Chain A
Amino acid sequence: MDLTKVVSLALGVGIFLFVFWLVKERRLREKYAILWLSTSAFIILLTMSRKVLEVAALSIGIYYPPSLLFLVGVLFLLMVTIGHSVSLSRLSETNHKLAQEVALLRKQVDREREKREEAELERLKSDEPKRLGGREDEGKQRKTVAG
């Protein structure tokens, strides 16, 4: 086994274990994990058999097999990035809706609270005379203490 084989095998296995761990820790959703787990499986497959790459390259007329690897790699990453842009767009749309929903709800809650406070104020006003009397008494007492 030559060095490149060892390195790429370690890379494939490393990615596989890392992605698995991320899912276990609930930091990565299964949906995305499937993509990266299959990528690592693909890397491991290519490591195991160089023949796969050679046959595939020659069959579509590429005479230097590694360039097929680069082509596939770049196209794959391009697709993934576009996919992520789509996800991001969807997320920002839902985020937008959520923010508006929360703002409208807050407005509604505020209005309810204002209504309640007004009603409370009305109720207090209706038995104001009694309370005012109470307050005057308090004031007198305080004066006496101070004097």
Chain B
Amino acid sequence: MKGLAIIPAFNEAKNIRAVIEDLRSFEGDILVVNDGSTDDTAAIAKSLGARVISHPFNLGIGGTVQTGIKYARENDYDFAIQFDGDGQHRGDQVFKITELVKRGEADLVIGARTLPGGYKMGISRWFGSRIFHCLIKFLSGKTIEDPTSGFRCYGKNTIRLFSRYYTDDYPEVESIITAARSGLRIVEVPVLMRGRLSGHSSINRRKSAYYMIKVTLALVVDAMRGRLLAEEY
């Protein structure tokens, strides 16, 4: 089976080496999608033997992940994982999200931050996550404990779907609804994560109100679009 690790990276020169080295045990190709970084992210990734695609300017996390997914589709990969460039995700947890996709038992696997490992989520982030959990449950009937997690594995069908429909900003939650209304099998598995190695989260306080409203609107509208048939993507 041909696998691809998609690493979205924007100015991650400090973290990217550790991230790629962390993925050394991954059986498959490593693709760094450089989202218009102004530092040495691309050069460092190349020197470590990763494939690198660079956007001419910043597109945002959604467009960056989707570039990787489109690459996976064009080059006929059987599955792809999304592995953040900031060092939150752990290489030793990858097997947990790829297993079900490899066995053909799931189309989209989400790695949920587990609490026993002591993952500390800020109160506002936890609150937002709970709201999306309830909205997803109401709109699609799926129970997803950690809808904002970006640690994911995409099977062939999901690669096809997301290379067609994937939103630009804050895509994680909305993509669950898109996958659900396409009848894809979504499974969540518990994984361990770390705090960020360096840098700041892409969502600060000022943006979080906009984030909540935007994602809520997108979820409701997307759920209203109705069933997506396989021929449509």
Interface residues of A (CB under 8 A from B): 20, 23-24, 29-31, 33-34, 37, 94, 97-98, 101
Contacts of A20 in B (CB 8 A): 221
Q: How many Å from the CB of B163 to the closest CB on chain A?
A: 16
Interface pair A23/B217, CB less than 8 Å apart: yes
Interface pair A30/B56, CB less than 8 Å apart: no
Interface pair A97/B221, CB less than 8 Å apart: no
Q: 1/0 per residue B157-176: CB within 8 Å of A? A: 00000000000110000000
Contacts of B213 in A (CB 8 A): 34
Interface pair B225/A24, CB less than 8 Å apart: yes
Q: How many Å from the CB of B159 to the closest CB on chain A?
A: 21
Contacts of B224 in A (CB 8 A): 24
Q: A24-B224, A30-B221, A31-B169 are in contact. List 20 more A-B contacts (CB 8 A).
A: A20-B221, A23-B217, A23-B221, A24-B221, A24-B225, A29-B168, A30-B217, A30-B218, A33-B217, A34-B210, A34-B213, A34-B214, A34-B217, A37-B217, A94-B56, A94-B57, A97-B56, A97-B57, A98-B56, A101-B56
Contacts of A101 in B (CB 8 A): 56
Main secondary structure, interface of B, reads helix
Number of A-B residue pairs with CB-CB distance less than 8 Å in the complex they form: 25
Interface residues of B (CB under 8 A from A): 56-57, 168-169, 210, 213-214, 217-218, 221, 224-225
Contacts of A30 in B (CB 8 A): 214, 217-218, 221
A92–B225 Cα distance when bound, in Å, is 32
Q: How many Å from the CB of A18 to the closest CB on chain B?
A: 13
Nearest residue (CB) in A for B167 is: A30
Contacts of B57 in A (CB 8 A): 94, 97
Interface pair B214/A31, CB less than 8 Å apart: yes
Q: How many Å from the CB of A32 to the closest CB on chain B?
A: 11
Contacts of B168 in A (CB 8 A): 29
Nearest residue (CB) in B for A37 is: B217
A23–B168 Cα distance when bound, in Å, is 14
Contacts of A33 in B (CB 8 A): 217
Q: How many Å from the CB of A45 to the closest CB on chain B?
A: 17
Find the residue from A23, A29, A30 having the highest chain B CB count within 10 A: A30
A34–B213 Cα distance when bound, in Å, is 8
Question: What 7 A-B pairs are tightest by C-beta distance, nearest first?
Answer: A101-B56, A23-B221, A30-B214, A30-B218, A97-B56, A30-B217, A24-B221
A98–B57 Cα distance when bound, in Å, is 9
A29–B56 Cα distance when bound, in Å, is 22
Q: How many Å from the CB of B94 to the closest CB on chain A?
A: 32
A23–B217 Cα distance when bound, in Å, is 9
A24–B221 Cα distance when bound, in Å, is 6
A94–B60 Cα distance when bound, in Å, is 13
Pairs across A and B, CB under 8 Å, 13 listed? A23-B217, A24-B221, A24-B225, A29-B168, A30-B214, A30-B218, A31-B169, A31-B214, A34-B210, A34-B213, A34-B214, A94-B57, A97-B56
Find the residue from B56, B224, B225 having the highest chain A CB count within 10 A: B56
A34–B212 Cα distance when bound, in Å, is 11
Q: How many Å from the CB of B201 to the closest CB on chain A?
A: 20
Contacts of A29 in B (CB 8 A): 168
A17–B168 Cα distance when bound, in Å, is 24
Nearest residue (CB) in B for A20 is: B221
Q: How many Å from the CB of A61 to the closest CB on chain B?
A: 31
